[in-house]
Amino acid sequence: MLVKIDIQCRVQGDVVLECIHTDDDFSHEEMIFSVMFLTAFVRSNILVLNRDEVDILWDSKDQFPRDFNIEVLFLDADAVMPNLTSYHSQGK
C-alpha cells in the first residue's frame, strides 16, 4: 500500500509533516501519522518512508498494513516559481 503526498512546495531544514483526518465541517480532527525529517536526507525531491519510519498513534498501528509506504514529493529546488504577489487596489 503506497500513499503519495505531493506538497507542491520547497522545504529546507527540519520539517514536521502531520497527516490529519477532518470531518466535512472541520469541527473534529484526528491525527493519522506524523513524520519528522531533515531535508538533507531528501534525494531527487522524493522522500519514501515505510510504516516503521513514521509516528503512528500506539493504538492505531495495526490499522496500517506492514507494506504501508509514504512517498512525499517536493518541488525541485531549481524550479521556477510563479510570482505570487497579490494585487491591492488603493481607493481614495
Q: Which of 80, 18, 9 is nearest to 45 (CA)?
A: 9
Q: Are 47 and 37 in contact (CB under 8 A)?
A: yes
Query: What does DSSP assign to residue 43?
Result: B
Residue ranges of the domains in the chain? 2-73
pLDDT by residue, tens only, the chain of 92 residues: 677 878 777 778 898 888 888 888 888 888 888 888 888 888 888 888 888 888 887 767 777 888 888 888 887 655 544 444 544 445 54
The CATH class, in words, for 2-73 is mainly beta
Size of the chain, expressed as the number of residues it contains: 92
pLDDT the model gives residue 84: 47
pLDDT of residue 1: 67
